[in-house]
Chain A
């Protein structure tokens, strides 16, 4: 089994258009959730989101690219360019055959669906642009990434709702670990902040109208976000041999299914995934210093997640830190685990734990150290990243300091 390390990271999200800016926002506990700027906002009852502002696709892509790239693909490519530049890898030669891409997205090209449904249903048009299908398909971002960087190994997308990114990164990790690939580009992307994308979520009545306050007694729901984060996962010996800077080691991964309910989370399913990731990494629970929580800010998730952590870690649950950065960038659905992995890397590399902002009142059912409102300096050696999706699909990654 090969060791797997992260040698590049890139992102765009509501907090910033790059990693440096995002980590700065994490340190400052800055909130990127704002009033939405989208068409027909006045017909929505939910009018806030973690939206990417000042997005100018023409600054990054030419006209021929833009007609083929939905926003979720644009976000992916921008993040991937940053990650690949940091890694310093070139895939033009043999490495291209040994490198692939696995990306998470729940909805794929939701803006493209939305715009073209408008055209045919609302405006009564009988013709749509010829590229609608290649633009909206879930694998479009993975395919365009493979084309931009000449990645000719395994390439596909994973859609497991809110766990998509963690499932994608877990699979990429397993491929490099098993020797199936030398390197993988992985992470996730989502861009659902359009009228139809938000209207669908409104229906479930789990959204907050004012803020995402994970673990706080007065939390009242989730807030959607958008963006992407992409990482270069690389064989440890390959990275060492070329003198690459190692951001963190991916040590373990586990996924479980609750097999119980299509929306309600299960403590057992979450706990089995957390415990499984530790066993896979061969790390004992008391070495975990920080958990990046799924922490959606819904009543059900946060108490179930805290109960699962308490079950797995026993007395150590009161010594570790657990925070939800969704309070800052919103819930990126299929891209969320990827953006949140940045907080895990920051904890390991910089010794700074991103806070749970918007925290107002302790909840006895979430009685853990949730790093309320202010970032904290702490040296941690092992961190976890949780993702628990609708459908009862759980995926947890374990990272170790390089």
Chain B
């Protein structure tokens, strides 16, 4: 069965956090997983490459980037929206 968007995003975050995907809960924050600002931009790059999407994210102003990075669940939701909006 094909992996869901959620599975793939969690796998990317888990790799960055050097954790097993099963240790990543939807409520986890990147900070709680030990992912810093460099880890964050690297994760976003991996997500863009994995889904062939462009993530609107500016490290200077994460709150106004329109890409909610507050928790793993919010990141998954944002990626799902971008994937759904992807041209066919």
Residues of A that sit less than 8 Å from B by CB:
45, 203-208, 219-221, 262-264, 298-300
Contacts and interface: CB of A to CB of B under 8 A. Distances in A.
A221 B60 contact: yes
Interface stretch (B8-16, B23-31, B38-46, B78-86): B38-46
B45 A264 contact: no
Nearest to A204: B41
Interface of B: 37-38, 41, 44-45, 54, 57-61, 64
Contacts, number: 35
B75 to A, nearest CB: 15
Name the residue in B44, B60, B64 with the highest tally of chain A Cβ atoms < 10 Å from its Cβ: B60
A142 B45 CA distance: 37
A204 B57 CA distance: 10
Contacts of A219: 60
Nearest to A45: B54
B45 A203 contact: yes
Could you tell me the dominant secondary structure of chain A's interface residues?
A: loop
Given A205-B58, A208-B60, A299-B60, 19 more contacts: A45-B54, A203-B41, A203-B45, A204-B59, A205-B57, A206-B58, A206-B60, A207-B58, A220-B61, A220-B64, A221-B58, A221-B59, A221-B60, A221-B61, A263-B37, A298-B59, A299-B59, A299-B61, A300-B60
A370 B60 CA distance: 20
A370 B75 CA distance: 37
Contact of B44 (A205, A298, A300): A205
A262 B57 contact: no
A263 B44 CA distance: 17
B60 A220 contact: yes
A152 B38 CA distance: 44
Contacts of A300: 60
Nearest to B62: A299
